[in-house]
Every structure is written in structure tokens, then in C-alpha cells.
Structure 1
Amino acid sequence: MNKSTLLLAALMCSLPFASNAQQYMTREGHVRFFSTTPIEDIEAHNQQMTALLQVDGAFAFRVPVLGFRFEKALMEEHFNENYLESHTYPNGSFEGSVAGFRAALQDGEQHDVVAKGSLTIHGVVQEREIPSKVQWNGTGWDIESVFEVAPADHDIAIPKVVRNKIASSIEVTITATLIPR
């Protein structure tokens, strides 16, 4: 079990013992990534993101790398075996807090916030500030975030023969509805 999985498990297990702390979670968050170049567009979707949000703004998510689905089976195979090495690095994760979350009222309006913390992909941890939106939906929180990830920042080697088919910066979109735990 890798360090980020252990930290996420510890966070999820310890939160029930926090006094008066209400938590929201999902096991069905959606992650989409999109790479566009003049030669080819590459898009993948994953519906297996697990996320946990505490009312004080503590936030964590985990995404199983093998859960990404591509239009072409060969793309999926290359992604898992050659680029993300999903058997060695089975999850991507984020652990941190949502700055401004306490100010986000349960008013049904969308609020801009920033998730600050550690983004781990391919075993490489990067400190990030990720602009996000949160909105109370009457029973839980809808979250949405769009940000860029450069494969080079996470030591993901792209072979020269396909380098012109994969963007140097990949757009990542995260959407989820977190309900009371």
C-alpha cells in the first residue's frame, strides 16, 4: 500500500472521531482528462474517484488509475503500462484543504474556492493550489474543478515517437456530489 493510500485511509478513519465534524463523501466522483494536439485528441474518463470533505475544509480524493476508460483500447493499454505504470502507481490522489470553504454558505449559490495541498501522480508529489467551485445542492456539496497537469512535472516519460500526439499540459476536470457520511 503506498503512502498516499495510507494517508487517505487514515484521514477517512480518523474523521469520525473528530468532535461535531460533519463529513461529506462520494465513491463515484468523475475525473476527465483531455489532451489536444494538432495530430490527435486524447480523452479519458474515470467514475471511481473517492472523495471526502470535512466542514472545516479538510479535503482528500483518490482515483484508481486503472479506472480510466479511453475511446481506443490501445490508448488505455499504453496509458496504464507505459506512462502511468498503474501496477506500480495504482492511484492518483490529493490531500489538503479547501481555502474559503467555511465562507461557502449553504445558499444554493456557486462559490469560488481554492484547494491547497499535495497532488500525487505517478508517485511524484506536487504542492498545488487548484481553483474550484462548490455549491450546496440541498443535501450535500457539488464540487467542480478544472486544472492543468504537465506529465513532466510527475516524471511521466513520453516516448519521442509519440511526443507530438500528447500535449505537454493535460486538462483535468473533476466533478462530484458529496453527500453526508
Structure 2
Amino acid sequence: MLKNKLPLLTLFLLGALSANAQKYITKNGNVKFEASVPSFEEVAAESKSTSAVFETSTGDFAALTLVKGFRFKVALMEEHFNENYVESDKYPKASFKGKVDDFDASQVTTAEKTVTITGDLTLHGKTKRVSSTAKISKSGAAYKISGSFSVKPEDFGIEIPKIVSKKVADKVSVDYNFLLNKQ
């Protein structure tokens, strides 16, 4: 008799556990980066399809973007970015997995609060620890998280050819903006 009820009991327990989860998600987060140098053509791109998950009970935050999802103003620059720099066929995803430091959901209101998000950024097959100053707030039943950080291409094994090295910044500025809704 117990054998027949075991699958039903398992489903009930899994449902109860997930009911306590406070996950907020988006599939259309915005990530921009810029590596422009004065007096040269803008080196900037944007992805409007970054997926992210925020677990408010723990402060855990993760994001994933398809590298080919970044759009440049100049098509040729986008092609060079994908083929020569980030090798997006070989390394199709960039991801971040981290945590909002000392997160307390009860302290988040409609007023923006400054927080620090620390975690591992994986790009071009390399992982590096990054820290970001971010703003977090509630917007109705959703969380808004936005912030920025900078990285060096060389930290991720991305080589900038000498011929264009003066046209690309040593540090790439990354800005992100997410509106995460309850799952």
C-alpha cells in the first residue's frame, strides 16, 4: 500500500519545498558593455535577452547570456567580436553566479538600496571573481536590480590584436538591468 502512495508523497513534498522558494526570474534582462576609446569608433554592444534568477530567501543571484545575443551598431564589429575575440561558436555563453552580500528581503522597498553582488563570472572558458555595486528595489511584485562592474579582456583569455589594441579600452565597462518577477 505504501509503495503505491510513494510517488504521490514525493510530489507533495517537492511541491511544499518549492512553495517556500522565493525565486524571481527574467528572460529579458539587459546587459551592455562598452570598451570605447576617445577619438575612435564606439566599441559597445547590448543584449536584451539575458536570463536571470534571484532567490530572495538566500540572496543568490545567477545570470546567463548567449554571447551571440550582443548587438553592435556596426555589423562588421559584431562579426569580429563573435569570430575573432570571444569565439562564440566555441564559447556560446557568458554566466554569472553569485550572491547579494548580506541580503535581507524585508529591507527592500520601492526606494533603491545600494548593495554589493559578489560572484564568479565565466566568459570565454575562463572564470573570474567579480564584485559589483548594484541598486535593488521592489517594483510591485517584482525586484529591480541594476549595476555595473568592469573587467579586463586579458583576464578571460581574450586577445586584442595589436593592430586594433589602441582602439579598444583596457577595461570593459559592463552595465546590467533586470526586472525579475516571481516564478
Give the TM-score taking structure 2 as reference length. Answer: 0.86
SS at match of 1:144: strand
CA contact under 8 A between 1:112 and 1:131: conserved in structure 2? yes
Q: In 2, distance between residues paired with 1:82 and 1:27?
A: 27
Q: In 2, distance between residues paired with 1:43 and 1:67?
A: 13
* 1:146 Cα deviation after fit: 1.1
When Rg is computed on C-alpha atoms for both structures, the one with the higher figure is: 2
Letter in 2 for 1:28: N
Matches within 5 A, 1:73-152: 73-102=75-104, 105-152=107-154
* 1:102 Cα deviation after fit: 1.1
Letter in 2 for 1:46: S
Give the TM-score taking structure 1 as reference length. Answer: 0.87
Q: In 2, distance between residues paired with 1:139 and 1:175?
A: 17
The residue aligned with 1:23 is 23
Contiguous gaps of at least 5 residues in structure 2: 1-13
Letter in 1 for 2:145: I
After superposition, the CA RMSD in angstroms is 1.7
Contiguous gaps of at least 5 residues in structure 1: 1-13
Measured against aligned partners, the alpha-carbon deviations of 1:86-138 in whole angstroms (never above 9, x if no partner) come to 01110111001111321562421111111111111111100122111111111
CA contact under 8 A between 2:108 and 2:136: conserved in structure 1? no
Q: In 2, distance between residues paired with 1:176 and 1:97?
A: 15
Q: In 2, distance between residues paired with 1:71 and 1:104?
A: 41
Q: In 1, distance between residues paired with 2:106 and 2:144?
A: 12
Matches within 5 A, 1:8-47: 17-18=17-18, 20-38=20-38, 39-47=40-48
Query: Percent identity between the aligned chains?
Result: 38
